Structure 1
């Protein structure tokens, strides 16, 4: 029985994988939180991996506090770069498979067309730089890895934009949301299923892949959809990023081109509205 280790078990993606795992009882699933897989302590991490001895690692853990990363650079790089390097090294040396999750923040956001996997990376914040360093280290240590870049992840678990909007729209009469950052959301349940489908695909084809739901929207338009499905009466206004400064700069345009993952792994990717609706049911 193959042993699948899921890091970041309590996160959005890890939680969705835990639900789906019930349909895949032919595998031994190990859902590791930050005490079982300690990404910020590399010596301990190496010991933990050797104790668990997984055949497959779904690396969903990571440092994701985008703004805090600006002042916690060392911690962000330890978790998103050096821990990934160590995990990739383990999988290479033990003939294990690795699916590692990365981000649209590896791009600088100046494109005007959907970004494919070969597009030049140029992160504009510490978080993006740490994730890009992790991608490079991952493929260097284990060229047989699969890296999935995703964007705007949400689910009914953890902290995310959808849950924040649901709360604010019930508490306030009006909310303002930036309307000049363009991309597409990713429902964590869809991405979790895609990861399993890729793992089960007859052929393992390593490399970098993009995955998000279909659609090209701003955060403001995303908020309008949340208002619609939630039936909220809150007034939603659109504002510029300049009106809402954050410690970390965000890419203005990070829409991901999904042709590669759809063609190679024959994936059917739902439109963002279709998936958002599922979260409200």
Structure 2
């Protein structure tokens, strides 16, 4: 029986994979939190992998506190770059399949058309830079690694934009939301399914793939969609990024082109509104 190791198991994507794992009982599943697989401690990471001995690694673990990363660059780099290199090296030595999750933040946001996998990367914050370094390191030591870049991830679990906006729409009379950052959200349950579709596929095509839900929206548009479903009466106003300064700069445009993952793996990508409804009505 093949063993699947899920790192970052207590995060949004890890928890969605745990729900999904019930449909894939032909695998032995190991859901590892940061103590079981320590992406922030390279001295024990390799021995932890040697103890678990997975056949497939789904690396959902990452340092994702985008603003905090600006002042914790070393820790972000350890988790997002150096640990990924260890995972990729382990996968190479042991003939293990590795799917690694990356981000739209590897781009600088100056594009005006949906970004393909071979588009020029130019991160504008520490988080994006460490994630790009992780991509490069993984592919350098192991060209068989499969990387999925995703964006604006949310789920029924944990803290995320959708849950925060739900609360604020209910509690406030007015709400200002950034309207000049364009991309597409990703329901973690959909991404988890895409990952398993790849695992179950007859073929293994390594390299970089994009995955997010269909649609081209701003965060402001996203909140209007949340409001439409939840029927909250709060007044939502669009504001420029300059009115909501953050420690880390965000790309103004990071819409991902999903044609490659659709063509090679036959992945079905739902529209963001459909997935948002599914999330808001899902049981936790």
Same fold (TM over 0.5): yes
**1:218 aligned residue:** 218
Residue 75 (structure 2) aligns with: 75
Residue 133 of structure 2 corresponds to residue 130 of structure 1 = no
**1: CA distance, partners of 2:278 / 2:175:** 23
Q: 1:14 — aligned with what?
A: 14
Question: After the TM superposition, which residues 188-207 of structure 1 pair with which residues of structure 2 at under 5 Å, given as runs?
Answer: 188-207=188-207
Q: Which residue of 2 aligns with 1:38?
A: 38
Please give the alpha-carbon distance, in whole angstroms, between the structure 1 residues aligned to 2:142 and 2:160. 31
1:230-257 Cα distance to aligned partner (Å, 9 max, x none): 1111111100000000000000000000
Q: Whole-Å Cα distance in 1 between the matches of residues 32 and 49 of structure 2?
A: 11
Match status 1:161 vs 2:185 = no
The 2-side partners of 1:91 and 1:9 are apart by 19
Deviations 1:188-241 (A, max 9, x none): 000000000011110101010000000000000000000111111111110000
The 2-side partners of 1:212 and 1:276 are apart by 12
* Residue number in structure 1 paired with 2:102: 102
> Equivalents in 1 of 2:47, 2:169: separation in Å?
46
- Say which SS state the counterpart of residue 51 (structure 1) adopts: helix
Alpha-carbon deviation of 1:91? 0.4
Give the Å deviation of 1:110: 0.2
Distance in 1, matches of 2:267 and 2:75, equals 35
- Unaligned runs of 5+ residues in structure 2 are none
Q: How many residues of Structure 1 are paired with residues of Structure 2 in the alignment?
A: 281
Superposed displacement of residue 174, structure 1: 1.1
Matches of 2:159 and 2:207, distance apart in 1: 29
Question: Whole-Å Cα distance in 1 between the matches of residues 224 and 188 of structure 2?
Answer: 20
> How many angstroms does 1:268 deviate by?
1.0
Give how far 1:107 is off. Answer: 0.2
Aligned counterparts of 1:96 and 1:268: Cα–Cα separation in 2:
26
Q: Which runs of 5+ in 1 are unaligned?
A: none
Alignment of 1:40-55 (within 5 A): 40-55=40-55
- TM-score, length-scaled by structure 1: 0.99
Whether 1:5 aligns to 2:2 is no
RMSD between superposed Cα atoms in Å: 0.5
Aligned-residue offset at 1:171: 1.2
